[in-house]
A = this chain, B = another copy of it.
């Protein structure tokens, strides 16, 4: 309880009033205080649930989820976050609903939102599309709210777009905060965000982009490593550069995994497709050229196969700080000899970090819940004091 009270006090000193009634698209659109608010609220919600205190702020209401790509983890994280706050999830299955572009986005967004308090969207497959779609949806329901169509303003949480994966990267960061004993201890820590080999093509760019866009805020020394040609979106690299200058950290690039791993405090080896490839694929899809996409994908797999040495092996881990950097992954990982023949990480490395990895993932529902909480509750600290005082049990059968 004392711990919760202290965190609530901390929250009072963070300026987060602009998160109220607002959407969450990209971490770099938020101030440092706002990011810290998310971390603090996530920690408070977690501690309260651990203490069997109900944090249901909604008596009824819906949380709408839209997954334009298969998803288990994020789906369950969003459902958990909504449930924690008292919202019931309704999933918009696009196959069934034929939501599409332009006109229909505006209409469908309003039609499903009459009793929606929050909308969570995952749309990460096509460069230049996902984030844009989220804005279309959010703008549509805002207009709907302002013109009296909707009684409440449904806010939006980006559950992964083509540019950023904020709920994942903030869960990663919250994990680091706890691991290193406080956000202030992240300053100067060396992070290796490295490409790694995977036998599958077309993994989204949003995780590495989200990582370099967020970790550079904390004064960390972020190295982005990948084989030649596996670039990220240039505008996000620009963001990372500017962030690092402002925060007193560093952002460097290299074509050597080893170089990135050397003396790293944190390593994040993960496969992704090159930006240029993703862009080309997006265009081909737009033109309906599916045969060309097949050809393109085969080319990429061939190209990938040249870089099988980009694997997070025991030898690579030995290069890191005290030979025991914190290993991060958004899961599921391609584990060599387990989920594939040759992959991103050696089985023995993965296995040693299994529990921390699961904990890392466990922050995600709370990060999402915190984003919803901050967009809905006008005075978060005061509300937490109320909840504490009320002390309603989540489970009353103990």
- Is B97 in contact with A72, judged by CB distance below 8 angstroms? yes
| B residues in contact with A397, CB < 8 Å | 57, 373, 376-378, 383
Residue in A55, A60, A335 whose Cβ sees the most chain B Cβ within 10 Å: A60
Q: Is A245 an interface residue (CB 8 A)?
A: no
- Is B72 in contact with A96, judged by CB distance below 8 angstroms? yes
Assuming the A-B contacts A60-B83, A149-B359, are A111 and B394 also in contact, with contact meaning beta carbons closer than 8 angstroms in the complex?
no
Cα of A2 to Cα of B274 in the assembled complex, Å: 62
- Is B395 in contact with A61, judged by CB distance below 8 angstroms? yes
Q: Is A305 an interface residue (CB 8 A)?
A: no
| B residues in contact with A73, CB < 8 Å | 111-112
Interface size class, chain A: 35 or more
Candidates B76, B114, B355, B376; contact of A80 at CB < 8 Å: B114
- Is B398 in contact with A151, judged by CB distance below 8 angstroms? no
User: What are the interface flags for A21-60 relative to B under an 8 Å C-beta threshold, 1 for contact and 0 otherwise?
Assistant: 0000000000000000000000000100110001111111
Q: Is A103 an interface residue (CB 8 A)?
A: yes
Identify which of A86-94, A255-263, A279-287 touches chain B: A86-94
Q: What distance in Å separates the Cβ of A205 from its nearest Cβ neighbour in chain B?
A: 22
- Is B111 in contact with A361, judged by CB distance below 8 angstroms? yes
Candidates B49, B148, B392; contact of A359 at CB < 8 Å: B148
| B residues in contact with A271, CB < 8 Å | none
| B residues in contact with A110, CB < 8 Å | 358, 361
- Is B59 in contact with A111, judged by CB distance below 8 angstroms? no
- Is B394 in contact with A378, judged by CB distance below 8 angstroms? no
Candidates B55, B57, B60, B89; contact of A84 at CB < 8 Å: B60
Oligomer copy total: 3
Candidates B54, B79, B107, B362; contact of A150 at CB < 8 Å: B362
Q: Is A108 an interface residue (CB 8 A)?
A: yes
Q: Is A62 an interface residue (CB 8 A)?
A: yes
Cα of A117 to Cα of B110 in the assembled complex, Å: 28
Cα of A80 to Cα of B62 in the assembled complex, Å: 7
User: What are the interface flags for A270-314 relative to B under an 8 Å C-beta threshold, 1 for contact and 0 otherwise?
Assistant: 000000000000000000000000000000000000000000000
| B residues in contact with A13, CB < 8 Å | none
Q: Is A396 an interface residue (CB 8 A)?
A: yes
- Is A114 in contact with B150, judged by CB distance below 8 angstroms? no
Tell me the A residues contacting B by CB distance below 8 Å. 46, 49-50, 54-62, 70-73, 76-77, 79-80, 83-84, 86, 88-90, 92, 96-99, 102-104, 107-108, 110-112, 114-115, 117, 144, 147-151, 331-332, 335, 338-339, 355, 358-359, 361-362, 364-365, 373, 376-378, 383, 386, 392-398
Of all A-B residue pairs in the complex, the 5 with the closest CB atoms, nearest first, are A377-B397, A72-B97, A80-B115, A149-B358, A57-B397
